[in-house]
Each structure stands twice: as structure tokens, then as C-alpha cells.
Amino acid sequence: MEMLKTSVGTLNEEVLKRLSKMLDNSTCGWRQLANAVSEHPKFRCSDRELTNCSLQVLSPAGSPGRTLLAWLADRFCSLDFLLHSLGKINHLEAVQYLSSMVELTQITEQPRSQQATVGGRLVLTCRASGPPGLSYQWFRDKEEILDETGRTPELVLCPLGPVHQGNYICRVNHRENFVFSQWAQVRCILSAGCSSTFQGSSSGLHIIHQPQSQTVSEGDTLFLQCKAEANPPAQYEWYHNTVALKQPKTCSLKIPCVTTANRGPYRCKVFNLYHEVWSDTATVSVGPSSITEADWEEVDRGSDSQKVPRKYGIHHLQQMAKPPSSAKQFYATDKVALLIGNMNYVHHTQLCAPIADVHELTNFLRQMDFKVVSLIDLNWQEMHSAVTEFLLLLDKGVYGLLYFAGHGYENFGNSFMVPIDAPASYTSEHCLCVQNILTRMQQKETGLNVFLLDMCRKRNPHDDVIVQPGLLKVTANIVFGYATCVDAEAYEVKREDVSNGIFISFLKRRVCEEEKVTFMLDRVAEDMGRCAITRGRQALELRSNLSDRRCLTDRIQTPDCSASQSARNLQWAVAHDLPNSDCLQFDCGVKVQLGFAAEFSNVMVIYTRILEQPKEIVSCSAQLTDFPEGVDVDLKKSNQETLLEAGSLILINENLLSPEVPSLYTRVRSLQRLRKEFKFTICLLYIYSNMDEEVQERQTVTVGKPLVSKLNLHEPRPPQASYPSSSSSDSFNFPECSSLTEAFASVSSSNAWSYDEDTATQSNAIGSSPSLRNANVPEETDSSDFVDGPKPLVASKSLPISQVNETNYKFSDMYNFHSN
């Protein structure tokens, strides 16, 4: 049916309300639907959207199901795909209802754009099939045509005059259901070949054929086409990466023998004397040519030793280099990531961007089904322990990604990540060697190893020790993305609020693209090279031996024996276990809701809300106090009325919350340093109507060890004797065992996540999610109060605003990201 191809947005409000009521439940509702539609990347729900949906329950008239349907409508989700997804979760009632509604009416003949001479006759036609009693409403722009000719399938405009020019649309109605036709444009011309005065809008040109996205191999011919109807005749100008191409101004673009430089977005500008319109964007992906399979044997040719096909000679290689009919699809047995952002250094320059960089990259990776451990401000021991836990998540065929943002350096080809407690004159002894971590990852037989290092790579004059990591295997699965070149510095934007560093500012536009990871990073490098603020100062460097076309977006295909997968799920869940939401009853009759949300794996937000209070109490609030030692709580920003004021990156729409039921938010950091159970006090302050003095009631709450605190990252890990030694004390011996054994025992059924993706739920309102990959929900917003503003460095290491001429950026200043 044609109507099944239309958007969810064509459903009227009554149908949407009925569907919303069916979806507002926990067993077979909006959460399960959100998980089902995520099979299509276009409709994959981000953490922000899931959070906003869940927060609808805090509003008296809120509906999570209605919010999800609106989100799908905004992304032009078809009714056919919605029905498919509802069937996938076995919501038979919703499937039956929606099917009955969409089968009522469908448009069989759409109105077409036309032009006619003044005084002539013009007819617009819209016909629909469906049950008896269909009615038609015609609209010119936003104004309904109320005469008799506007209530039939044919709209007759006679005699045609300038007043009739405009855009027309027809609405076909049957009871409470309706469907809109396409827009049709009507133009008047004074006489044959003479057009009337144009109104200067882009509606004067109509593109009838859009350029199409495609994938080609190196050496192929790229062909794009864009056609338009226009009077006067249209002219065409093609653009690649927003740069005009020196090609003939025709409707077709032909590039013979393409290379990787030809990949990227293409658009066509169509224009004539009066109008200008732009085509849709066509994304062109260019892959390498492929040699067909052959049996190989090594042939000794002295210093020019080569490998040639045993069955074929060298003269056959060119014929064999034709691209295959279809690219091989690669899968990951699992995908895990460790993200570390260090900002608050004890003896070095304070940084600003890592918190936003880690937060934003976490959201993108979760959308691609990565299990993400995100940590902020780790010392030496905590970084080593975190890497140990990360290695436990790896196994054969797993995609492993490590991202670090903070101070760093590079000596003799080895990269070093600097903890926040590193001394002023640190050496490799005080840091983590990335190459040592890579050696350990290879022993896990991972399918892909990606390192994204957002740090400086300047030489460290205090360190003259040459670290010798273990020998690397030839695995052809390693990708290094350095935010800057060798012996160069990385920068972040200096602003009063929290903003991304340069690298993540460009990476976040590309990271979810379904391309080989090296191709994706190449495009990031190209984007950085076109930006005036980075040109000549910071350039992305890519090192890789990746031979397969593996993408970060590759799907997870778990092998039949999934015991290791279950173990990884449990290991990952231990570090993301939030306390349950709870309701506390006070002696005065006040009922307080206590909830939790995860901003990072070691940062948690606690909120309190007054659910019930006696009429004789005129005001009350539930504030948190008496926090345990080890954790970091900014008392000036605790018990705030908004997340923004509390310094949190979690983004919710405060307007969704009922103003009659305010909340107080407190942000708890450094949970990795919590040595005992997390215990705090809820102090209830209230005033009776016949009293002036404030009354206080207190309750102590114990919530166990939340999030990453269960892993005891502050504790040293035992060394492993078989790990290769290094000439430097920086070499850290990563064990195969960790504190997870104890942590598993501490996860009880009362507060652990359900590990079945079809039933995984969490009781707290903020940060809940239908699947393991979204177990903690970090969100992002812009705030000027998150962290203390960085102190500017010397002028030679900052970029003044006078040098910024990139219109897409409003950087007020930029300074050295990770150097002394």
C-alpha cells in the first residue's frame, strides 16, 4: 500500500494518542519499541532521547510513548516500518489498531505542479481510494479554499489570475483519519514563453531527480545526476565538500577513475535568472579495488622477495584487481571501549575539554552498541586498574577502543598518558605506555584495536629512558588516531563554558559513519585541514595496518558458545550498577523520592523530589549531606534546583517536570575512590503554616557501592610473571584476575541489571534504558558552571581570536591542550 510508505507524522492526533496509551507500559511498550526500531541506524535512539522519554512520567500529562512517536515522525519513519517494529515486539493490539487505520485511505493520484496563461483554465487533481464517504479539503499555502470547487477531488482555477499563484495541497478525510497529498505549485504566465514576476522564493525551481548516494571502488567511474524543471531553463553547479567543482555546468557529473580523494558529500546548485535551489546531499564512499582469492606462496627473489599467486602470473594481477560484486560483511563478537578524560591535574595545567569530549564520544559509541566505561580524573593507580578491567572485557573477535584526553607526550615512538597525580617532572615511570597496552590487547586476539589519543606528542625532556614494549604480532587490525602530529601539540578551545577539544569537534561529525574506520578518520583529517583555526597548528595523524574493511558500526554477531559474551556483560554491568530509586517516608508525613543517574562510570547524580506533604506544611525540601570520605562533592553546587546548576552534563528538558513537584540535584564525583559503602543523609527541612521556625528531620541512607566503585580501582593489581618485562619501570604487568570476583558476589538480584536485552530495565527515572549498552545514561548540555575556567598559557601556545576566520566556529581562544 502506498500509504504504508508515508511518515508516522501523517497520523492524526487521535490515532497518536491511542497508540501512546498502548505503548505507555513497562512490559511491551515504548522501551521495547525503541529497541526494535534501532535495527535501522536512522532510528536508533540516543541516550538523550531515551532520557527525555522516561522523564515524561514526571509530568502529569506526559507520555513516553507519545514522545517516542513524535521523535520517529521527525525522522520520517514510515508506517510500514512502525508496523514491522510493533510486530517484532509482539504488540498485537497496536498492530491491529494501526493496520485498521492506515488501510482506510490512500492517495492514488497526486496533484502535479502546473503553469498556465492568465485568464486560462487550470485543474489540480487528487484522488484517493478507501471506504465510502471520503471528503477533500484544498489549501493554498496555509489558507483553506472554502468555495464549492475546494471540496472535490478536482480543484478548478478559472479564470486563472495572479492571485492563484502559490503552493497547493489536498487533505483527504475519513472520520478522524486523514492523509495529505504532495505539494503542487501553480504559476501564471502572461503569455506564451513570458513568465510573470517571480516572488524571489526558491519555489520557482522544482528538482525532479535528486543525486543518489553510492559506493564505488577505486578506478571506477562516478556518475551523479540532478534534473530540474524551470523557466527560464535551469543551470547547474556541482559541489564536493562545499567546494565548487570545475566541471561543465550540466545536470550530470562524471568523474572517471575515482580515488579516495573523491569520496564525501556532493550537492548540486540549480539556478536560473530568478531562483536558486539546492539538491539533496549524495554521499559517495570510495573503497579500494580488491584482488580475487588465490593461493599464495613465497618466492625468494633476493632483496626483492615478493609473494605472487601460485596459480597465476604477474601479468594476471591487473585482471584480478576488479572490484568484487559485493563487499564482505565483517562482524564483531562484541564491542567494548574505555574512555578516560583527565582535567584536574595536581601539578600541571588544568584542562577543560576532556569532560565534554568523553561524554559526547560515550554517547556516540553507545549508539553503535559499544559497552563503554567512561572515567574522569584518574590517578596513576586508578588508570592502571581501569586498563586491567578493560582488558578483561576483551576476547577473540572483540572490537576494543581506547580513548584518552589529557596531558601526554611521545618519546622514541612510544606514547604516554599522564595521570592527574603525575609530578611536575614526570617520566615514563609515572605514566602509562600505550604500546604496552596494545601488546596486551593483541594477546586477546581482538578483531579490531582502535586507539584515539587526544594529547600532545611533544618530546619529554625529563625522560631519557627508552621503553621497550613487548613484541607486536602481525595482526593487521591496529588503528591509531592521533589528535596531532609527532612533536606537536593538541589544542582545546578556551571558553567560559564546557566545550569540545579540536579533535572531538571534528570526530563527532564522522564517527558514526558506516565506513572503514581508517576512511572515516581520513575524512576527519580532511575536515580539520579545511578549518582555518587548526591549519598549520594541529593536524590529525593516522597510523594503521588494518587490512579488512572493518567499521565501528559493524554489527555484533555472537558465536554459538556465548559464555564469554555473558561474562563480559556481567563484568561491564558491575561497573554500571546504579542504586534503585526509592521512596522514603518521614514522621511528619512527607514522602520523598530518591533517584540516581549515571553521568560517567565514576560520576553519579542523586536527586530528591517531594511526592507527598501534609496540607499544614507550607514548604519543605529534601537536601543531601554527610557524604563519605573519598568521593568528591562540590558543596556549593549540591542540592541545586536544576542539573545545570549542579554542574551535570546530563541533559533533560526541565519544562517536562511539573513545577509543583521540584527536584534537587547533587553531583557526586570520583566514585572510584570510594572504599566503603556509599552512605549519606537526607535532611528534610519543612515549615508548618502556624510556625515561623524551620523543622528538621534526618534519615541515613546506604546504597552499597554504585557504578565503578565496586571494582576498587584504588587497589593495586597483582603482577603477572609471564608478562614481558621492559627496561622502564613504566611497564605495568596487567593481571588476568581482578577485583571483579568479589564484585560479582556483591551484585544481588535486588539491585543488579537484568542482562537479557529483551527485559533489561532500571527503576530510576533518569538514565533508564532498554538495553545493556545504555545502562548508564550520560547527557550533555552547555553550561558555564561545570568546571573552573582554565588559566591561559603563554601566548605562543594559545590561538587568539584575531586568527579565527572560520565562520562555522566561534572560538574565543584556543590553548595548548596537553603539554607542560
Catalytic residues, which ones?
Answer: 407, 456
* Contact assessment for residue 752 and residue 453, using Cβ atoms and an 8 Å cutoff: no
Amino acid, single-letter form, for residue 8: V
Enclosing H/E stretch for 58:
none
* Contact assessment for residue 673 and residue 708, using Cβ atoms and an 8 Å cutoff: no
Q: How far is CA 589 from CA 446, 626, 689, 757, in A?
A: 57, 23, 15, 39
| Burial degree of 268 (CB within 10 A; 0-12, 13-18, 19+) | buried
Residue 74 C-alpha cell reads as 521527525
**Buried b or exposed e, range 458-493, using 16+ CB within 10 angstroms:** bebeebebebbbbeeeebebbbbbbbbeeebbbbbb
DSSP assignment of 88-117 equals HTT-HHHHHHHHHHHTS-EEEE----EEEE
Enclosing H/E stretch for 346:
none
Residue with cell 576494543: 400
Q: What is the largest CA-CA distance in the chain?
A: 101
Distance of alpha carbon 417 from alpha carbon 405, whole angstroms: 9
Output phi, psi for 676, to 5 deg: -125, 180
Distance of alpha carbon 281 from alpha carbon 278, whole angstroms: 9
Q: Which of 125, 93, 121 is nearest to 112 (CA)?
A: 125
Distance of alpha carbon 752 from alpha carbon 250, whole angstroms: 62
DSSP-based three-state secondary structure for 44: coil
* Contact assessment for residue 260 and residue 522, using Cβ atoms and an 8 Å cutoff: yes
| Extended strands (E) in 502-634 | 541-544, 582-585, 591-600, 603-612, 617-625
Distance of alpha carbon 13 from alpha carbon 5, whole angstroms: 19
Distance of alpha carbon 167 from alpha carbon 73, whole angstroms: 23
Enclosing H/E stretch for 574:
helix 563-574
- Residue 740: which residues within 8 A CB-CB, separation 6 or more? 389, 392, 571, 574, 711
Q: Which of 376, 694, 361, 709 is nearest to 503 (CA)?
A: 361
Q: Which of 406, 434, 435 is nearest to 420 (CA)?
A: 406
Q: Which residues make beta-bridge pairs with 398? A: 334
DSSP-based three-state secondary structure for 224: strand
Distance of alpha carbon 147 from alpha carbon 141, whole angstroms: 16
Alpha carbon 583 to chain centroid, angstroms: 33
Residue with cell 492514488: 108
Residue with cell 611533544: 458
